[in-house]
Structure 1
């Protein structure tokens, strides 16, 4: 998808229209929606640290970039917890209570 913001807007519009459609929505659409929203929310608190790292890399391209472990741990942890909560919430609904025989 790249860095084109048009793709993000298009994906958001597709998710929104599918969620607003009358009728039953699929559980996977709910999970995709949660994941789609949780990534920008997870990056919001660490955006300053990420921006500083990008600017430093652009100023000194010869220096090897070091990973920001705090930003990585925060982002992965936050998204993992959000997805776990979404799956648990989905499992408590009638979608999760279905028996597959």
Structure 2
């Protein structure tokens, strides 16, 4: 067995379960401007968006996914964007959000 790390270059896709797909689409496509690339009508429906060149975000109805829809106790993910665009994105999210935003931070990786 090799001790070499697996050469991961990014995230291919992430699926987020939500009861209100339309609200999810308004946030990810409307507010963030991510393009919708696919829609599923079977199994309750799903919406797929692209985040950058290689990452797909799937918005699924609960119980659509693998594992019987158990979901996660805690799910975290972060989007990478150019440093020069960070503050404008934060300002846009705060101006448009109907909920208090927590966890908006800058990661200098």
Q: TM-score, normalised by structure 2?
A: 0.27
Structure with higher strand content:
2
Which has the higher relative contact order, 1 or 2, with Cα contacts under 8 A spaced 6 or more apart?
A: 1
Max Rg structure: 1
Richer in helix (by share): 1
> Taking structure 1 as the reference length, what is the TM-score of the superposition?
0.28
